[in-house]
Amino acid sequence: MPEPSSVIDWIALSFVPGLGSKGIAQLVAHYGSPKEIFEACASGKQRMDFVRRNVLSSLSNPALFREQAKAQFKRITAGGAEVICPDDTQYPVALKEITDPPAVLYVQGRVDLLRSLCLAMVGSRAATSYGKRCSFTLARDLAEAGVTVVSGLALGIDAEAHNGALSVQGATIGVLGCGLDVVYPKYNSVLYEKIRTDGLLVTEYPLGTKPDAFRFPARNRIISGVSRGVVVVEAARKSGSLITAEMALDEGRDVFAVPGQIDSLKSNGTHWLLQQGAKLVQSAEDIRVEIEPGWHGDEYQENDGEDFLLEIDPAARKLLEEIDVYPSARNELIVASGLGSAKVTELLLLLELEGLVEILPGDEIRRMV
């Protein structure tokens, strides 16, 4: 594949130390393109009072950065990935609208997803089973309805969101805080490969870039930037998820929040968002009516396992009706159901094997659907 000169210039510009995406955006807004920026600096005729002297010196000698850019382009394309720059029609229009859009997007997978209806879903890495369940279910239902689910491929809420979308062969985008060739966290290596083949991986970082902590807040602006809105499923009051939500608000995106237990630290952040005016989410329909005003709930039917419940033992179905999503003691279920202890134990085993309930430490039970 030939090396488009404009792409090489964009990559070269992103390699200039000390410039950053905001600096690049300022320069491009002033001069029009990376090529014109390099030419203006090389001529020495243009004044750039907002650019530091060491950065200006680098811009005046772009040969080294262009060589690095060519090497990067060759490696990226050899691995089956692509490079998308702001002057490319594949570059997301919504991402261009943020204050510091990435100068380069390295992508692999279904590039067409960047032009689809996207919704971000973020939350705690150390998520509770409640948060994971909500994330998976919401993502699954949204993906079934044609929404592309965007998240950061982290543990917890992110992973469940991606898995939920993929479970129905839906669309999902994973935004990385490292190079395309770096799998982080390692635990998500299978998920990473699944998204690479069936969804889309996106990063602004060149190959080999390690997942340093400071890169993730920058990554979050891409997650919110490509999305119509952001759903925060579970988050502490001070967390990266709330930073993403604040970015979304700054860029005029919708912010949604899933309520949780009032005594859970993992719900402090989402409850604070609700107090600030975020839209409360109890189902995918709550989101869809906001991001697609022409859509009506009767066009979309959620499947909460009701078809399956018709097939199980009537006594098990009756017992399930007595079980809430919040834990309750086995003895309480025995009394409420009117069934004997042995029968309740038998039915709980059946429900647990089918993934409908979870038996917790202390012999407490909660409903999973």
Residues 121-135 pLDDT 10s: 999 999 988 899 999
Report how far residue 358's alpha carbon sits from residue 70's, in angstroms, rounded to the nearest whole number.
Answer: 54
pLDDT reported for residue 37: 87
CB atoms within 10 A of CB 307: 8
Q: How far apart are CA 206 and CA 212, in angstroms?
A: 13
Q: How confident is the model at residue 269 (pLDDT cuts 50, 70, 90)?
A: very high
For residue 285, give the amino acid letter: E
Q: Report the share of the chain in percent with pLDDT over 70.
A: 91
Domains of the chain by range and CATH?
5-109 (no CATH), 111-299 (3.40.50.450), 306-367 (1.10.10.10)
Q: What is the pLDDT of residue 179?
A: 98
More confident residue, 237 or 116: 116
Kindly give the interhelix angle for 330-337 and 341-353, rounded to the nearest 10 degrees.
110
φ, ψ dihedrals at 213, nearest 5°: -55, -35
Query: If pLDDT is split at 50, 70 and 90, which confidence band does 47 have?
Result: low
pLDDT reported for residue 216? 93
- Verdict on whether the full-model pTM lies above 0.85: no
DSSP assigned state of 51: S
Model confidence at 186, pLDDT cuts 50, 70, 90, reads very high
pLDDT at 306 (0 to 100) = 46
2, pLDDT greater than 60: no
Contacts with 82 (C-beta within 8 Å, 6 or more apart), sequence order: 76, 106, 107, 108, 111
Torsion on CA atoms 155, 164, 127, 238, rounded to nearest 10: 80
Residue of 68 and 239 predicted with greater confidence:
68
State the average pLDDT over residues 201-216: 96
Mean pLDDT of 136-146: 95
Give the pLDDT of residue 111: 97
Of 288, 290, 262, nearest to 275 (Cα)?
262
Average pLDDT, the chain: 88
- Mean pLDDT over 334-344 rounds to 86
pLDDT at 181: 97
Give the contacts of 367 (CB within 8 A, at least 6 positions apart): 320, 323, 324, 325, 356, 357
Confidence label for 298 from pLDDT (cuts 50, 70 and 90): very low
Name the pLDDT band for 308 (thresholds 50, 70, 90).
very low
Going from the C-alpha of 279 to that of each of 102, 140, 148, 232, 343, the distances in angstroms are: 29, 20, 19, 10, 43
Distance in angstroms (rounded) separating the CA atoms of residues 301 and 289: 13
* Spatial distance between the Cα atoms of 139 and 165, rounded to a whole number of angstroms: 5
C-beta separation of 119 from 291 below 8 A: yes
Residue 296 is predicted with a pLDDT of 37
Question: Which pLDDT score is estimated for 209?
Answer: 97
Judge residue 16's burial from the number of C-beta atoms within 10 Å of its C-beta, 0-12 exposed, 13-18 middle, 19 or more buried.
Answer: buried
- Residue 294's pLDDT is 41
Q: Comparing C-alpha atoms, which of 216, 88, 94, 95 is closest to residue 151?
A: 216
